[in-house]
Structure 1
Amino acid sequence: MMNSTWKNISLSRLMLGTVQFGLPYGVANRTGQPDYRDVLKILTAAIEGGVNCFDTAAAYGNSEEILGRALRELKVTDRVTVVTKFKPLTPEELADPALAKAALEASVESSRRRLQLDCLPLVLFHRETDAVHRPALEPLQESGKLRYVGVSCAHFPGPPHSYVESGLMSALQLPANLLDRRHESSGIFRDAAAREVAVFIRSAFLQGLLVMPERDIPVELQAVIPARRRLEQLSHDAGIDLAELALRYLLSQDAVTSVLIGVETVEQVEENLARFERGPLPPDLFSAIQAESFDLPELIVTPGMWSPR
């Protein structure tokens, strides 16, 4: 497993997403929420394959609790890095600094308890709007309850640059994939890396839309099909599947620290580990993808606009 170094911490370039541990998630999810025995098998396969970082959130059902229990049972808590997210602030908390501070402190205490960690290695604001309350977290860092702070960003370029330039954020989680290159084109990957700000990529498969069977694509999203077919032709010509093309395209960008992948089964862990082991794409294939221009409606590349499922 290839690793990146961030603030003297070695992070595997595959970061395992665990939202599925706490609730059914994703347009392509067909197996639902794995039970605890399956979670242990998934984590064991990932760790044995070299994965040492895991993504969760206070808002992901009981994902934090399950992950913390499983890592403790597997006796690997001290060998891995868990990235979690603050509970989103309510409108009342967002508008009142005192309420926001209390809510963020309560979120940290709850995450420490559920994850069974004295110090949370990295916590992200789950919503960009909440990041205005970044100063409220300094006492938690000084007390050793929280080490680093970052932010999970939306699909639109602009704000991530301000977070990097401010020096207040140690990590960004950004959506990016073969069809959504808005952040990539903005130069934020490079600018963040230059300031030692970690870049974690989510939505590598566009929440499953890139890799689900074509016949299963919801009617409202079928405008993606022509673009998918062009990418499928590139992957076919290269002798790999579309999922591998999607992952290795992101691995081809040195400024990306880790790529976040959610899984539901051990088989999916093993498949993705094999794809990561093959490393970046050949330069000519990478260039061929970048030469493609997909004029897709915003609805297609912004999952937050999709109808609930």
Structure 2
Amino acid sequence: MIRRFGISSYEPKQALDWMREPEVDIVQVPVNVLDKRWIEADLAGEARQNAVTVFARSIYLQGLLLLDGPGLERANMDWAAGFLRPAKDFAAGRGLDFKAFCIRVVAQTFPEAILVMGVQDQAQLEENLRLFQDRPLPAELVELWWRNLPGMPTRLLNPSLWER
């Protein structure tokens, strides 16, 4: 017997359409500091209204947010550097650890979501646990980030479109 049924989607419209189906209890979506489509689609409100649990994955955009110039080049993603820079500058300009910024913004924007993160080793697990325990960012700072973030191209936000 199936107790809970869920779907995974890269696209807000598709995820919200599925959330409205009575059989769907869970949606898994990529949520990160560069993707405000989920806010514009009111993911959190739709989840509450439809009693759906959200699993937020890809907080670091499958690691892309953590790459620097040479790393981007090796990953054939150097075209993305200009899209990543504003987030890194925003965090650095406020004295914030960038990984903590990425986690806190997602956690505070979607407080009812379950955050899913992959790790490669024990050290990463311990670091992520520590970052989850960091103090919340001021709400005004999170609002400022989202308010000033321009829309990003789907080519950046959807890893299935990346040339590998």
TM-score exceeds 0.5: yes
Match of 2:4 among 134, 137, 148: 148
Which TM-score applies when normalising by structure 2?
Answer: 0.88
Question: Secondary structure of 1:178's partner?
Answer: coil
Question: Percent identity between the aligned chains?
Answer: 25
Aligned equivalents of 1:292, 1:221: Cα separation in 2:
24
Match of 2:148 in 1: 292
Residues 174-209 of structure 1 deviation map (CA, whole Å, 9 limit, x = unaligned): 111111222232112211123321011111101001
Match of 1:160 in 2: 15
Match of 1:245 in 2: 101
Are residues 200 and 280 of structure 1, via their aligned partners in 2, closer, same or farther at CA, if it must alter by over 3 Å?
farther
Residues 27-70 of structure 1 deviation map (CA, whole Å, 9 limit, x = unaligned): xxxxxxxxxxxxxxxxxxxxxxxxxxxxxxxxxxxxxxxxxxxx
Question: Secondary structure of 2:3's partner?
Answer: strand
Match of 1:201 among 31, 45, 56: 56
Question: Secondary structure of 2:12's partner?
Answer: coil
Residues 55-86 of structure 1 deviation map (CA, whole Å, 9 limit, x = unaligned): xxxxxxxxxxxxxxxxxxxxxxxxxxxxxxxx
Are residues 195 and 240 of structure 1, via their aligned partners in 2, closer, same or farther at CA, if it must alter by over 3 Å?
same
Question: What is the Cα deviation at residue 220 of structure 1?
Answer: 4.5
Aligned positions, number? 163
Bigger radius of gyration among the two: 1
Aligned equivalents of 2:8, 2:163: Cα separation in 1:
22
Tell me whether 1:215 sits opposite 2:70 in the alignment.
yes
Verify the 8 A CA contact 1:163 1:169 in the aligned structure 2: yes
Gaps of 5+ in 2: none
Verify the 8 A CA contact 1:171 1:200 in the aligned structure 2: yes
Question: Secondary structure of 1:148's partner?
Answer: coil
Tell me whether 1:258 sits opposite 2:121 in the alignment.
no
Question: What is the Cα deviation at residue 279 of structure 1?
Answer: 4.6
Verify the 8 A CA contact 1:164 1:191 in the aligned structure 2: yes
AA at the equivalent of 1:230: P
| Structure ranking higher in strand proportion | 1
Match of 1:179 in 2: 34
Question: Secondary structure of 2:56's partner?
Answer: strand
AA at the equivalent of 1:217: L
Match of 1:228 among 84, 97, 110: 84
Are residues 221 and 255 of structure 1, via their aligned partners in 2, closer, same or farther at CA, if it must alter by over 3 Å?
same
Using CA pairs under 8 Å that are at least 6 residues apart, name the structure with larger relative contact order, 1 or 2. Answer: 2
Are residues 295 and 223 of structure 1, via their aligned partners in 2, closer, same or farther at CA, if it must alter by over 3 Å?
farther
Instruction: Please give the root-mean-square deviation of Cα atoms over the aligned residues, in Å.
Output: 1.9
AA at the equivalent of 2:70: R
AA at the equivalent of 1:237: G
Which TM-score applies when normalising by structure 1?
Answer: 0.49
